[in-house]
Structure 1
Amino acid sequence: MGSVAAGILTTFEDVLKAPLPLRLVAWDGSEAGPADAPVRVVFRNRRALRRILYSPGELGLARAYVSGDLEVQGSVFDLLDMPQIIERVSSHGVRGVDSRSIRRGVARMIRHGVVGPPPRPPATELRRRAGGRHSEHRDAVTVSSHYDIGNEFYRLLLGPTMMYSCGYWADGCTSVDDAQWAKCEHISRKLDLRPGTRLLDVGCGWGAMAIHAAREHGARVVGVTVSHEQVDLARRRVAEAGVEDLVEIRLQDYREVRDGPFDAICSIGMAEHVGLDHLPVYAEDLFGLLRDGGRLLNHQISSVRPLPPGHSARARVQGGARVVSSGRKAARTFIDRYVFPDGEILPLSATVDALERGGFEVRDAESLREHYALTLRAWVANLTAQWDRAVTLVGAERARTWLMYLAASAIGFEYPHRLGLNQTLAVRPGPGGESGMPRTRGWMYG
């Protein structure tokens, strides 16, 4: 009959149509695969395999790993970065697998006593939220589920800057802290921040950009977020930085801001929560909050594939993230169930279209794809270096969730045609069509 480990490895290689350079260890102690493989995958019990059989592809693998039924010994990057897994699991799931491979795999699992009822999902898996998708109430609950898990965990993960978005790895940056400072400065230049400039920071997080704009450029900043824990810590950080006279942090949805006009608006890593259907409202609201000649900097993860004409919103998996494409409603993915419920990754073309339809003139779009890969790897290094502390703060299941999410996302940004990160600079033209923008872009890079 062969060993359990050999049967499992053969099944996966049959499905993926390629050998896997990993060492597989089964619950009975049997092992299979190259002895010198860089990573060992341990199936601690039959339940680990049942999770994958009932949810083939990324979700089943994630459930097995997050629950602790499956253990990865070695770097999780070594597992997730295997071309066989990237091409089959991340991009195609189990589509295209011939029925004979499936029948052979099921037969092997039956012989090893694996087949049984579907296991319960891990406790950290998020249920669907009540209310209309991207309504103010549902967005507040969704954001809270992600950001209100404890400021100390985010400090461990992100470092002292507490910036949860792609850094800007300019020449001379040697740490993620340097890259985050450089990102704030890069955005400040694009928005032409000066003493007295009135800036709205949409989705201000823990206040890093607001503090930078006030302290380094003398801007007067209103920062808004719907996370209670972010507001509490951001206000303390503002006080500690000595810029309370210039920065106001509000517990407020951007759709509730009524005290425009502002000279500039930045939205850094927030538009992913807006959603395709609400993107036009997002653009129109921000346009209405700007003065004539005011600038918007939209910093957003993007899909690299355009939406086809006549699309309807659907989720598919691309490099570990939930990406909007055409077709009927699809099954929820790992990201949607564990990390960013209701999050949508849109192509840059959809964002530019919404901004232009909302009245903006788009002046510049810069890709920072490789910058996000570097940022994510730095966060993974922070997490793994303080693993025991992370488990104490948020529990083993959530810590494993974050490790898989960050590592898979890093790989998604390292390869072209998977995920992108774009900074889009737009302006509200004056009544005569004037933009107030320089004719060349040398000023933007300092």
Structure 2
Amino acid sequence: MTLARVFEQIAGAQAPVEFTAYDGSRAGAPGADIRFHVRSPYAVSYLVHSPGALGLARAYVTGMIDVSGDMITALSTMQSVFGEVTGRQKAGILTEVMRDPLLRAAVSRRLDPPPQEAPFSRIPSWLRHSKRRDAKAISHHYDVSNTFYEWVLGPSMAYTCACFPREDATLEEAQFHKHDLVAKKIGLKPGMRLLDVGCGWGGMVMHAAQEYGVKALGVTLSKQQAEWAQKAIADRGLSDLAEVRHLDYRDVTETGFDAVSSIGLTEHIGKANLPSYFSFLYGKLVPGGRMLNHTITRPDNLAPPRKEDGFINRYVFPDGELEGPGHVQMQMNDAGFEIRHQENLREHYARTLTGWCRNLDEHWDEAVADVGEGTARVWRVYMAGCVLGFKQNWIQLHQTLGVKLDEKGNGNMPLRPDWGV
């Protein structure tokens, strides 16, 4: 069996994809818009020895497989390839491969995972989410390179779902609108104090200070994020109002905040820790203060919350856990918050990720020079896959607004939402 035929067997002979290999073999649909090129026989070793579709991902990250064409289109066209590779498929491939001396030699060698794979991503759930381990997991993903993130995210340096006010809005306009939407939902006014947990590169902190005159404190477990944010704050002349600390949110000692925002942190908290997480944030607020929780969610709570052997857990978000919106809201409610508004921005995240994919493709050479081709490949396939995830409702993005009532049950909320669209 030729190398190209091995991969055609996984995809099916009718797949609208062309397969080529370094040995000159070809299979699939000649001239297709999407082409997979196999650069090494060891790609088959990853395929046979790795669980599910992980072998395909490992072969791509290491450069043993190239994908020509738009990655979002490629993954959409080849969902069967990047889905589960069954044991029966592997057995059939192995039977054919063993007839070829070169492929047989390649398969007989079990390769180590690529270095981009987090070595600590598969430990028991009860060992996750200590302060030390959370810092390690966050560093794995966020301390890649600030320059790399600048290429991918654009000037806003906002690594969370944007909110597009119009069909033709740019990514930068949508990120500004997202920060402004959060600011309006939590009722920011001059002189207030805001705590932004999981603040990233400080986008919300700087928006609150610059646009609303709010004294804002942001905390992040990423040292590189904190350093970048503090410099940006100083460069914009906001140091009197805005601050970002390299700090675990659990170590914030100040209280009496008028508002709390959590934009993209809850995914890293862990299901077992949600009650203490929301209770902690509730305790930071003054009576009448509002908290906005912005998080990726699952469509329901029926399926297992995380996939231990999946690409995302191993390469992108070690220890990440997604819950359904109902569960998140229940935990907020049980912590004391009165829930006043919730909305799903699923389609907005698909658009946001599409913009990030475009940015990466446009700055591919610079990104590779900065972080290496393996890491850039991880990001290329991860973001493209997430576009499909949000478009096809595998995952969602919910903003949930809660308020801490005063002793008389007053929440100081408007009779109707006043934050627009």
* TM-score normalised by the chain length of structure 2: 0.94
Question: Residue type of the partner of 1:234?
Answer: A
One of 359, 366, 379 as aligned partner of 1:389: 366
Q: Distance in 2 between matches of 1:7 and 1:307?
A: 36
Q: Distance in 1 between matches of 2:332 and 2:186?
A: 16
Question: Residue 419 of structure 2 corresponds to which residue in structure 1?
Answer: 444
The 10-residue stretch of structure 1 (157-166 or 141-150) with the greater mean CA deviation from structure 2: 141-150
Question: Residue 99 of structure 2 corresponds to which residue in structure 1?
Answer: 111
Question: Residue 285 of structure 1 corresponds to which residue in structure 2?
Answer: 280
CA contact (8 A) 2:146 2:225 kept: yes
Q: Distance in 2 between matches of 1:31 and 1:86?
A: 21
One of 376, 379, 395 as aligned partner of 1:399: 376
Aligned length: 414
Is 1:335 matched up with 2:312? yes
Q: 1:188-337 to 2 correspondence within 5 Å? A: 188-307=183-302, 315-316=306-307, 331-337=308-314
Q: Structure 1, residues 16-43: CA drift from partner, whole Å, max 9, x if none?
A: xx73110011231110111131111011
Tell me the SS of whatever aligns to 2:98.
helix
Q: CA deviation at 1:7?
A: 4.5
Runs of at least 4 residues off by over 4 Å: none
Q: Distance in 1 between matches of 2:3 and 2:127?
A: 47
Q: CA deviation at 1:423?
A: 0.6
Q: CA deviation at 1:132?
A: 3.2
Tell me the SS of whatever aligns to 1:278.
helix
Q: Distance in 2 between matches of 1:174 and 1:438?
A: 29
Tell me the SS of whatever aligns to 2:169.
coil
Q: CA deviation at 1:419?
A: 0.7
Is 1:80 matched up with 2:71? no
Q: CA deviation at 1:164?
A: 0.5
The 10-residue stretch of structure 1 (244-253 or 191-200) with the greater mean CA deviation from structure 2: 244-253
The change in CA–CA distance for 1:42 and 1:170 in structure 2 (over 3 A counts) is same
Question: Residue 421 of structure 1 corresponds to which residue in structure 2?
Answer: 397
Gaps of 5+ in 2: none
Is 1:133 matched up with 2:128? yes
The change in CA–CA distance for 1:11 and 1:376 in structure 2 (over 3 A counts) is closer
Q: CA deviation at 1:8?
A: 3.6
Q: Distance in 2 between matches of 1:164 and 1:135?
A: 24
Question: Residue type of the partner of 1:278?
Answer: N
CA contact (8 A) 2:263 2:295 kept: yes
Q: Distance in 2 between matches of 1:135 and 1:203?
A: 16
Question: Residue 112 of structure 2 corresponds to which residue in structure 1?
Answer: 120
Q: CA deviation at 1:78?
A: 2.2
Tell me the SS of whatever aligns to 2:96.
helix
Tell me the SS of whatever aligns to 1:423.
strand
Tell me the SS of whatever aligns to 2:272.
coil
Question: Residue 324 of structure 1 corresponds to which residue in structure 2?
Answer: none
CA contact (8 A) 1:38 1:78 kept: no
CA contact (8 A) 1:362 1:424 kept: yes
Tell me the SS of whatever aligns to 1:174.
coil
Q: CA deviation at 1:301?
A: 0.4
Q: Distance in 2 between matches of 1:133 and 1:5?
A: 41
Q: CA deviation at 1:307?
A: 4.2
Question: Residue type of the partner of 1:445?
Answer: G
Question: Residue 37 of structure 1 corresponds to which residue in structure 2?
Answer: 32
CA contact (8 A) 1:368 1:422 kept: yes
Question: Residue 20 of structure 1 corresponds to which residue in structure 2?
Answer: 15
CA contact (8 A) 1:168 1:180 kept: yes
CA contact (8 A) 1:173 1:179 kept: no
Q: Structure 1, residues 347-391: CA drift from partner, whole Å, max 9, x if none?
A: 111211111111111111111001001110101111110111001
Question: Residue type of the partner of 2:406?
Answer: G
The 10-residue stretch of structure 1 (334-343 or 51-60) with the greater mean CA deviation from structure 2: 51-60
CA contact (8 A) 2:298 2:396 kept: yes
CA contact (8 A) 1:361 1:428 kept: yes
Question: Residue type of the partner of 2:221?
Answer: V
Q: Distance in 2 between matches of 1:53 and 1:396?
A: 24
Question: Residue type of the partner of 1:123?
Answer: P
Q: CA deviation at 1:56?
A: 4.3
Q: Distance in 1 between matches of 2:6 and 2:416?
A: 62
Q: CA deviation at 1:75?
A: 1.5
Q: Distance in 2 between matches of 1:295 and 1:199?
A: 10
The change in CA–CA distance for 1:112 and 1:172 in structure 2 (over 3 A counts) is same
Question: Residue 4 of structure 2 corresponds to which residue in structure 1?
Answer: 5
Q: Distance in 2 between matches of 1:50 and 1:403?
A: 23
